[in-house]
Amino acid sequence: MLTAEIRRRFLAHFENAGHAVVPSAPLLFDDPNLLFVNAGMVPFKPYFLGQETPPWPTATSVQKCVRTQDIEEVGKTTRHGTFFQMNGNFSFGDYFKAGAITHAWDLITSSVDDGGLGFDPDSIWVTVLHSDDEARSLWKEIAGLPDERIQSRGLLDNYWHMGVAGPGGPASEIYVDRGPEFGPDGGPVVDEDRFLEIWNLVFMQEEITNVRAKDQFDVLGDLPNKNIDTGMGLERVAYLLQGKGNLYEIDEVYPVIERASEISGRTYGKDHTDDVRFRVVADHVRSG
């Protein structure tokens, strides 16, 4: 499935469910805490904090993002990049955990003929914050997931915030099992190459401050509403559905590598060091 078709299906799924389709904000955004937009929720932050009234109760977007915390891994792994597109759906005090889980499960497991992405339900694993018994119960009730495919993790993995003072909340991440040829059994707590994260559902309900680390911060209190902020990695979903080995070989990225190969006279796929360089070029060109 082409990347553009995945993007189209995502937006159509949520538009059909009543969400306003919002275009991507520029990478350079008017936020004093950020150099670049690093998540789909950034343009909506005033709505989560109650600083502004949202013009719609729910929204969806495909946001261009840049994150540099994994820059040393770019090109070396199958899944890391600084530039990526984040498919997101957002609720500003409308639906909460049950709605977010239902929307996500329906889209990823519905058949391609029915407008879904067609992932095998038996390949899906999820993680929840260790204290979030409600999310665990909802995954069992809505998706029928067994306990062994719902894994608990701590704040470092399953609490999301922007890295600065602002909104935050417990998260539930969705993973696809790529199969035993990609790594050991045991779910995402054992191996995140075999079990690839594709979607993060954030139950945005708290305002945090004094952020010292990913898992070290102070909670000021509850946000005005219980909100939903999700992020699906478009490129990750594309490389799974296109049967590629990594995100650099999908239809929207590989042409950059092909052109770089023509210019350099070197061949992608023959030398590991060159391959890393090609992927770095592809990553940085896309955000340029």
Would you say 196 and 184 are in contact if contact means Cβ atoms under 8 Å apart?
A: no
- Same structural domain, 148 and 267: no
114: tokens are 């029915």
pLDDT at 144: 98
- Same structural domain, 205 and 266: no
| CATH label of the domain that carries residue 113 | 3.30.930.10
- Same structural domain, 26 and 163: yes
Residue 260: give the domain boundaries.
255-288
* Number of domains observed in the structure of the chain: 2
Cβ neighbours around 217 below 10 Å, total: 20
- Same structural domain, 241 and 259: no
Half-sphere exposure of 144 (CA within 13 A, CB side): 5
- Same structural domain, 150 and 262: no
pLDDT at 74: 84
pLDDT at 182: 93
Average pLDDT per block of 10 residues along the chain, 288 residues long? 98 98 91 83 93 97 89 81 94 98 98 97 98 98 98 96 90 98 96 96 96 93 96 96 93 95 94 92 84
Residues sharing a CB contact under 8 Å with residue 181, sequence separation 6 or more, in sequence order: none
- Same structural domain, 267 and 162: no
- Same structural domain, 282 and 173: no
Element (H, E) at 9: helix 3-16
Pairwise CA distance, residues 60 & 179, whole Å: 31
- Same structural domain, 110 and 137: yes
pLDDT at 73: 84
- Same structural domain, 281 and 158: no
pLDDT at 24: 95
Give the dihedral sign, CA 186/192/195/198.
positive
Residue 174 DSSP symbol: E
Residue 220 DSSP symbol: E
- Same structural domain, 151 and 199: yes
Distances (CA, A) of 136 to 45, 128, 133, 209: 27, 7, 5, 27
pLDDT at 288: 65
CA 241 to chain centre: 16
**Structure-token match 């023509």, residue found:** 262
- Same structural domain, 122 and 193: yes
